[in-house]
Copies of this chain bind each other. A is one copy, B any other.
Amino acid sequence: MLFHTPRKKWLAKVSQEKKLHTHLGIIDISAIIGMEYGSAIRTTEGKLVFLIEPTIHDFIMKSERKTQIVYPKDLGYIAARTGLKNGSKVLEIGTGSGALATFMAAIVKPDGHVYSYDINSEFMDIARRNLEKAGMAEYVTLNQHDARSGVDIREADLAIVDLGDPWTVLDQVHDALKGSGAIVAICPTMNQIEKTATELKRSGYADVDCVELMIRNLEAREGMTRPSMRMIGHTTYLIFARKVQKQEQEYLEPAVDEDEATGEDEEQGSNHTSRA
């Protein structure tokens, strides 16, 4: 259960305790039980608090973790870009805290499944607890196993690689994916995207594409609307590719489009609308 006030929100589990002590005053739990989500309640100090049902997004953002999580902006783009949907079979290499697996399971269930590999037993335990809290445990199979020595999965629709060295499992993923299946690697550094992109092209993948998503909050207030002064500068890069038949030699990538190589004429880009 998520409590939301105009200033803050926090996640709390309704338990046996009769009173919830907060910095805004005490909340009487017995009075809340049975109330609808969206209800407004008052603390003992008269502060307004709303009861809000947590979404998968809230579970992920508040989940127990030891590793850098993948942010919703990146999770969502992975789903949208690879066409993740109900029934998809997903291979994950690098379970981490299970945030990615939780998110994907919520989309592919009940007909699809997520098979997730990690060598770290501590992460496995955290991931298991997070999946259970979010109600997704039955749609995810956790394997404590080094994916570099191969995985049992075949005909997967999507493989997500969240390792420091994604290029070490490209052959194993190639075996696990169905024809033209999608791979995405999560790479925080430029060095990782460079090496991964290069190796993908040599390992039977096409349509290799690297992107970065930036999210910006806006303060929308009457007569004073503006972007927030704060922003997260970077979370990760994402590399996408599709499995294709391996070629004897790397096919030729175009170096640079001619029009890109040309100096732009104006700082604002080649086409301008409104320069008066």
Contact = CB atoms under 8 A, between A and B. Distances in A.
Interface of A: 4, 6-10, 36-40, 48, 50-53, 55-58, 61-62, 65, 67-69, 71-73, 75-86, 103, 106-111, 178-182, 188-191, 193-194, 196-198, 201, 206-235, 237, 239, 241-245, 247, 251-257, 259-260, 263-276
B8 A276 contact: yes
Given A50-B244, A267-B232, A36 B276 contact: no
Given A50-B245, A194-B225, A273-B260, A252 B57 contact: no
A263 B67 contact: yes
Number of copies: 4
A72 to B, nearest CB: 4
Contact of A38 (B106, B244, B267): B244
B222 A268 contact: no
Nearest to A208: B276
Contacts of A111: 110
B215 A276 contact: no
A39 B73 CA distance: 32
Contacts of A218: 190, 193, 210-212, 237
Contacts of A52: 180, 206-207, 242, 244
B265 A253 contact: no
